[in-house]
């Protein structure tokens, strides 16, 4: 098994983070993508084997009613709001994806994480939009991971992931992934004590890594850096 461990976002000063972990999920790309030159600097500063995973821009996945749209440096025109989010294959969403492709290229990112909110329900419209986007969006050889929130049934997620060549991203302490070869785990800290996972919880995550060819384990809790370090130490001790 190829195991990579990191955090959702740089949970330490970047230089310290790059010395400690071999994976990061870039969060800035969800709110407002950085300049291409900035992404290129991040790539140049990182070790060759370090992996950047990119979280897709909210203009692709989320509706403009989402409060995170307030963080855009260039607010969208109110008259065009119906043309953003929920994987609509509009000129606006295609342009947002092209910006993501450029960021991914600058970072040499092999994976992109698409997180959908609970409001993105399994309606026929949403399924059609999801299917159109993932069939037509240029991947450039990258792995696409999808983290659905809300009421999606596991069998439906499994079927869509197989049909559209997606990796099912989950919090392994909340639900199992429907994937088979590559596991993309995002630990949100929903049941932590004082923002930190217990040893038993970290052991459970390590067990959930078994049987996969490759696993990303990304911490997104209040004590993300400390818990990621603890998990790395646990994984190394178990491999001895």
Q: How confident is the model at residue 165 (pLDDT cuts 50, 70, 90)?
A: very high
Q: What is the structure's pLDDT at 78?
A: 93
Percentage of the chain beyond pLDDT 90 is: 96
With CA atoms as reference, report the closest residue to 186 among 22, 58, 4.
4
Q: What is the structure's pLDDT at 1?
A: 87
Per-residue pLDDT of 182-200, as tens digits, reads 999 999 999 888 899 999 9
Q: What is the structure's pLDDT at 174?
A: 95
Per-residue pLDDT of 202-237, as tens digits, reads 999 999 999 999 999 999 999 999 999 999 999 999
With CA atoms as reference, report the closest residue to 212 among 174, 240, 172, 154.
172
Q: What is the structure's pLDDT at 3?
A: 97
Between CA 49 and CA 236 the distance in angstroms is 18
Percentage of the chain beyond pLDDT 70 is: 100
Q: Tell me, which fold does domain 2-179 have in CATH? A: TIM Barrel (3.20.20)
Per-residue pLDDT of 36-77, as tens digits, reads 999 999 999 999 999 999 999 999 999 999 999 999 998 999
Q: What is the structure's pLDDT at 240?
A: 53
pTM of the model: 0.96
Domain ranges of the chain: 2-179
The mean pLDDT of the chain is 96
Q: What is the structure's pLDDT at 194?
A: 87
pLDDT reading at 92 higher than 60: yes
Q: What is the structure's pLDDT at 37?
A: 98
């Amino acid at each position: 098994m190829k195991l990579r461990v990191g955090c959702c976002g740089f949970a330490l000063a970047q230089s310290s983070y790059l010395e400690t972990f071999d994976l990061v999920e870039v969060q800035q790309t969800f709110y407002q993508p950085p300049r291409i030159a900035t992404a290129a600097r991040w790539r140049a500063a990182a070790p060759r084997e370090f992996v950047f995973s990119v979280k897709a821009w909210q203009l692709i996945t989320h509706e403009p009613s989402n409060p995170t749209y307030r963080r855009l440096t260039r607010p969208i025109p109110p008259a065009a709001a119906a043309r953003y989010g929920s994987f609509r294959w509009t000129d606006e969403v295609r342009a947002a994806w092209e910006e993501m492709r450029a960021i991914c290229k600058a970072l040499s990112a092999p994976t992109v994480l698409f997180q959908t909110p609970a409001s993105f329900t399994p309606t026929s419209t949403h399924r059609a939009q999801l299917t159109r986007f993932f069939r037509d969006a240029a991947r450039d050889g990258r792995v696409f991971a999808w983290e659905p929130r809300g009421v999606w049934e596991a069998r439906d997620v499994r079927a869509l992931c197989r049909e559209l060549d997606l990796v099912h991203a989950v919090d392994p302490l909340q639900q199992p992934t429907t994937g088979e070869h590559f596991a993309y785990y995002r630990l949100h800290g929903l049941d932590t004590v004082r923002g930190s996972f217990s040893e038993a919880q970290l052991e459970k995550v390590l067990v959930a890594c078994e049987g996969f060819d490759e696993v990303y384990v990304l911490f997104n809790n209040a004590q993300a850096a400390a818990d990621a370090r603890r998990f790395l130490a646990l994984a190394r001790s178990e491999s001895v």
